[in-house]
Amino acid sequence: MKIAIVCYPTFGGSGVVATELGIALSKRGHEIHFVTYKQPVRLEYLTHNIHYHEVIVPEYPLFHYQPYELALSSKLVNVIKKHKVDVLHVHYAIPHAYAGYMAQQMLKEEGISIPMMTTLHGTDITLVGSHNFYKPAVNFSINKSDAVTSVSHSLKKDTLAIFSIENDIEVVPNFIDFSNIKDGFDDCKRHLMAAPDERILIHISNLRPVKRVQDVIKVFHGVQKKIKAKLIIIGDGPDREMASKVAHELGIRDKIIFLGKSNEIERILCFSDLFLLPSEKESFGLAALEAMAYKVPVISSNTGGLTEVNEDGVSGFLCDVGDTEKMIEKAIFILEDDNQLEKFKHSAKQTALKFDITQVLPMYERLYKKICCL
């Protein structure tokens, strides 16, 4: 099939999933056309089966905000016509499904029918979509899609509660491509991060308030009182300065390494011992799944899609949002004994294997075929 994929080309979960999906589909013989304003971060190469089409938004002084949706819908029309695309798969309801619908209508005027599938990832529903200004447009875009998928049962439930949805929503979870997972690296540089007798805890996020980075610091503070440890924080965002300040106040700033945005996440995960994700809300928890794939057990909150990813007592532990004392207790339980830690590391990977791309890809392919036959 010829599939056009629209996504945000950033480090965020939806962009990563959309890009990995397109790459995997290309390996199965499908022709993939990425349509977005910048080449996706994980799209490192283009082949005869993978193409990238840049959406250019001309600058007009008439507009206070340049009309990206208009440029995107026009670009989609051109790509679909030129390459005879079979199906359009958009990630995020707004603005992508909205622009996709406009492209469908323009193509219909020329006698071309193109089915569209919309994948909901989270903030397009729980943050942007639920805002009164955007809610009618999001509701309209979802209902006008030929198929709708959600990355978790939790997000599906939220969507149905917030909007008046007429379409069926099928849950197709996020995934890991285990063919890209390396169990170890020849040039592992663990010694640069911690001493041999120190455990390494890690947190990866965009450091927004919803990630509760202050809880990450508090949990680490409690753990290092009992166990020699270092904390690595990867990512950048509005709460980084606050996190550093809290660490200073607790007297543990020298035990925390802020790495900012990094392209070496896999190399760091391969020698990490525990992943902390105490978020207020997670529609899925892709960062936790990626950690588990590298044999890193997870201490997380029990909110949203995390309960569908992190198996309590197996791949790690689930705790109530804000219950840092329980998180400390469970973290120490995992880390204090070498055999216990190895058991959780093994179980984390086995749990992550349930989300291997080979299990998920056929779900998307089935839906593509279904809407192409409508």
Q: What are 215-255's pLDDT values in tens digits?
A: 999 999 999 999 999 999 999 999 999 999 999 999 999 99
In terms of average pLDDT, the best of 4-18, 99-113, 177-191 is 99-113
What pLDDT is attached to residue 263? Answer: 77
Distance between CA atoms of 262 and 360, rounded to whole angstroms? 27
The whole-number average pLDDT for the span 103-129 is 87
Distance CA 268, CA 18 (A): 24
Q: Domain extents for the chain?
A: 2-175+356-372, 179-355
| Torsion of Cα atoms, 215 then 219 then 224 then 228, to 10° | -100
- Give the model's pLDDT for residue 122: 82
Rounded to whole angstroms, the Cα distance separating 289 from 262 reads 18
Homologous superfamily of 179-355: Glycogen Phosphorylase B; (3.40.50.2000)
Whether residue 95 has a cis bond before it, omega within 30° of 0 = yes
Would you state the pLDDT for residue 59?
A: 79
Q: Determine contact, residues 195/227, Cβ cutoff 8 Å.
A: no
Give me the pLDDT at residue 150, please: 95
**Confidence class for position 127, pLDDT limits 50, 70, 90:** low
CATH-assigned architecture of domain 2-175+356-372: 3-Layer(aba) Sandwich (3.40)
Of 162, 99, 167, 91, the closest CA to residue 127 belongs to: 162
Residue type at 303 in one-letter notation = T
pLDDT above 70 (res 303): yes
Lowest-confidence segment of 5-9, 87-91, 100-104, 334-338 by average pLDDT: 5-9
| pLDDT confidence of residue 80 | 97
Condensed to tens digits (0 to 9), the pLDDT of residues 256-281 reads 999 988 878 888 898 999 999 999 99
Whole-angstrom distance, CA of residue 28 vs CA of residue 203: 34
Write down the pLDDT at residue 132.
73
Going from the C-alpha of 265 to that of each of 215, 253, 261, 279, 293, the distances in angstroms are: 21, 21, 9, 19, 12
pLDDT band at 128 (very low <50, low <70, confident <90, very high): low
Q: Which residue has the higher pLDDT, 174 or 189?
A: 174
**Domains 2-175+356-372 and 179-355 belong to one CATH topology:** yes
Per-residue pLDDT, 225 = 96
Mean pLDDT for the stretch of residues 294-320: 97
Mean pLDDT along residues 292-311: 96
Give 186's pLDDT tier (boundaries 50, 70, 90).
low
- In which band, very low, low, confident or very high, does the pLDDT at 374 lie, cut at 50, 70 and 90? low
Give residue 66's pLDDT band: very low, low, confident or very high (50, 70, 90).
Answer: confident
Task: Round to whole Å and give the CA distance between 102 and 115.
Answer: 12
> What's the whole-model pTM score?
0.89
18 — pLDDT class (breaks 50, 70, 90): very high
Question: Is the predicted pLDDT of residue 163 greater than 60, yes or no?
Answer: yes
Across the range 316-321, mean pLDDT stands at 98
